Structure 1
């Protein structure tokens, strides 16, 4: 059995754990990162293919107000480029296709006015939320006791309005809107700047992609301290006192003064703690499911839809498996790649099919959207974070109704010598890579302050 002794152990080698490690490295503090996978990145996963292209199976975008992500790109000389956003988008509603430009789909006038009003209403309410303490709002209990879907249904005066806003929410939250509370929805919108920012490509959270894939950035962050990272090392047991922590896994033990836990909540719940975590933390962990999202990719020799005047983007009601489509071709357009998001109950239904049936279904949808050239794909790929053993889902864990008001900040609250990171601990850009980085840095800074105080 290998044994290590460090000042800080970091459980999880995703963006949050590596951001924490970067801070500790810069401060000259000894640490060891323990990552269960054979790679870095966590819920970010870029796969390189022999045919000369790559796919981002996990998180892939950055956008305005995600200041830390852009700073990291500039500091580490990692290039980014604009998501392709030119041409016509497609709306598939009630099995009828329409094209539109911009963010808001083309609906009848009353539905369009209703949709605009509903978006503004959600934004107005979200601006009232303190992202550091959403439970303090005067209506917190009321909003936390109802599903987001109840609110959407109540204020959607037409079926078209409801279907479009529902698709938007499914894509943003990675779940059906009856799986989170209205309060969580408002917190999430506030945390991500605004609903406009969350849904937009240009000027929004999907504006830029990383050249070579998002995993390139986390690997660049980790390059100076690769010898302080241990891969394929899942942690099974953590014993802690005020004087230190003993961490055990198959074939290794680590003693540390302090530990940062930067893994998805369902995985944190699987670690055996001695003494047990406080009851509030434990109760939340056992009722803190991950979002459910898969990505399906059709790869072509070139992005032919661009020549036809299409952006590659689409929005669809539940008549298709895909809530949305995006052009995910590389910056040089050396391949044409269309990616479909399959979220929530649609993902569960779609992945009951055999893989070849899923490919056939996607090809049929793309042919209907973009014509016969869509049948000329060179490859079909897919990835479901739901089935990924060390993620259990994506983008983030979901606060169920009553969770915010019952548990408040129980998840992110430190329990020295234990400190909690991951995007779920973020109050800004919660659920996004930016939030993961901020939470990791925050945990590292708390530890550095505690070490200095000691």
Structure 2
């Protein structure tokens, strides 16, 4: 077996691992990145097609207050453009289609008032959550023993307001509301600035897309240390030694003084730690599942819906497999790309079908929304991150009921000189690429502090 040594081993070449590596490189600290996949980006995955277009199968948006992402774009000369957001949106509720403008769909007056009231209540409660310690809020026990579904059922007074809010929450949190701690939902909203920010395109988390795809930025960041990245190298074991660690892959042993782990939390269970990680961390990992998001795409010669006055955006109840649709066409409109988000149980049910049935399903939905022109498409593609071995889902791992009050900040705490990154270790923009970058940079700063001490 090949034996090597370095100062730091970084496990994972997603944005968090790359952000950590960038700081170590600038500080002249030797490191190696071990990546299980054959590509960069982690839960960001841009696939290019021979027909001259690309699809972001993973994370794809940035927006206001995601300051590190904008700074990295500027530093590496990566341009971005505004998500298309003009024209009529579609609400597909109880089998009936309505159009509306702006963020809030057209509902009956009582449902509309109720919808606004529940949104404002979520905003009000989230503002008071301590971002660095949600479990210290006076009502933390109560809210952490509730699910988000419990809250929606108690506060939504009509079926219409409930259906719209549920679809929106599923899109934001990447799960069914009954799968999520209500305290975590409030923390997530606070972490992402506000609920308005999370749901909006204009002045919101979906405002901009990267020219050429999000993975391009990851590739630019890595250019200064490509020789230090080892692909197809899943970590099997991390052994604590007297003066550091030995990290094992199937083909190599790397001796190092510090480790940064920047992978989806469920994958930590695939690594044999000697000695074992503390029970506070392993206890959380026993029930820390990933969100489940599928992205389904219809590719057209042009974004024809724009000429019909549509934005390409929709919100749907369980009448369709897609909580939301977006126009994900390139900035120049050289292709028309409709993307459907299928999330949680809707995604699980959709991906029980063969791909040809999934294609027929999306074509039928697009035809209902935009007419027979929707049948004239070039290609259909879809991707379910849950099916990718080294991701197991996205956007992030989900804090289940009782998790915050039982385990607090156990995940992001270092164990000796093993430091934990990934978006799950972020307090700001938790669940987003911005959070992954911030957590990676924080882990790198811990490494530097240890070297100075």
> TM-score, normalized by length of structure 1?
0.99
Structure 1 unaligned spans of 5+: none
Aligned-pair CA distance for 1:369: 0.2
Residue equivalent to 1:203:
203
Q: Match of 1:330? A: 330
How many residue pairs were aligned?
Answer: 453
Confirm or deny: 8 A CA contact 1:10 1:32 kept in the other structure: yes
Q: Deviations over 1:137-165 (max 9, x none)?
A: 00000000011101011000111000000
Distance 1:243 1:113 in 2: 62
Match of 2:223 in 1: 223
Task: Report the counterpart of residue 42 of structure 2 in structure 1.
Answer: 42
Report SS of the residue matched to 1:153. helix
* Structure 2 equivalent of residue 293 of structure 1: 293
Query: Deviation per CA, 1:250-302, whole angstroms, max 9, x where unpaired?
Result: 11111110000000001011100000000110011111000011000000000
Map 1:9-88; keep pairs closer than 5 Å. 9-88=9-88
CA distance in 1, matches of 2:22, 2:15: 10
Q: Is the 8 A contact 1:41 1:215 kept in 2?
A: yes
Q: Which residue of 2 aligns with 1:194?
A: 194
In the TM superposition, residue 341 of structure 1 has moved relative to its aligned partner by: 0.3
Tell me the distance in 2 between the aligned counterparts of 1:111 and 1:225: 54
Q: In 2, are the aligned partners of 1:240 and 1:417 still within 8 Å (CA)? A: no
Per the alignment, residue 109 of structure 2 pairs with 109
CA distance in 2, matches of 1:415, 1:372: 58
Contact 1:314 1:325 in 2 (8 A): yes
In the alignment, does 2:387 pair up with 1:405?
Answer: no
Distance 1:323 1:206 in 2: 16
Q: Is 1:393–2:393 an aligned residue pair?
A: yes
1:111-260 mapped onto 2 (5 Å cutoff): 111-241=111-241, 243-260=243-260
Q: Tell me the CA shift for residue 123 of structure 1.
A: 0.5
Partner of residue 425, structure 2: 425
Runs of 4+ in 1 over 3 A off after TM superposition: none
Q: Deviations over 1:416-442 (max 9, x none)?
A: 210000000000000000000000000
Residue 353 of structure 1: how far off its partner (Å): 1.2
Aligned to 2:263: 263
Task: Identify the residue that residue 381 of structure 2 maps to in structure 1.
Answer: 381
**Distance in 1 of aligned mates of 2:247 and 2:21:** 17
Are 1:91 and 1:98, in contact at CA under 8 Å, matched by a contact in 2? yes
**Secondary structure, in 3 states, of the residue corresponding to 1:42?**
coil
1:346 aligns with 2:336: no
Q: In the alignment, is the contact (CA less than 8 A) between 1:114 and 1:157 conserved in 2?
A: yes
Tell me the alpha carbon deviations over residues 24-55 of structure 1, each in whole angstroms, 9 at most, x when there is no partner.
Answer: 00011000000000000000000000000000
Distance 2:2 2:64 in 1: 44
Provide the rounded CA distance (Å) in 1 between the counterparts of 2:65 and 2:400: 27
Q: Distance in 1 between matches of 2:449 and 2:300?
A: 52
CA distance in 1: counterparts of 2:313 and 2:86, whole angstroms: 10
- The 8 Å contact of residues 242 and 416 in structure 1, kept in 2 or not, is answered as no
The alignment yields a C-alpha RMSD, in angstroms, of: 0.6
Distance 2:256 2:161 in 1: 54
Q: What does residue 449 of structure 1 align with?
A: 449
Q: Report the counterpart of residue 318 of structure 1 in structure 2.
A: 318
Distance in 2 separating the partners of 1:423 and 1:263: 9
User: What is the distance in 1 between the residues matched to 2:352 and 2:39?
Assistant: 28
User: Residues 199-241 of structure 1: CA distance to partner in whole angstroms, max 9, x if unpaired?
Assistant: 0001100000000000000110010110111111000000014
In the aligned structure 2, how far is the partner of 1:3 from the partner of 1:196? 51
Aligned counterpart, 1:6: 6
Unpaired runs of 5+ residues, structure 2, are none
TM-score, length of structure 2 as denominator length:
0.99
Distance 2:333 2:258 in 1: 46
Confirm or deny: 8 A CA contact 1:426 1:439 kept in the other structure: yes
1:242 Cα shift? 5.5
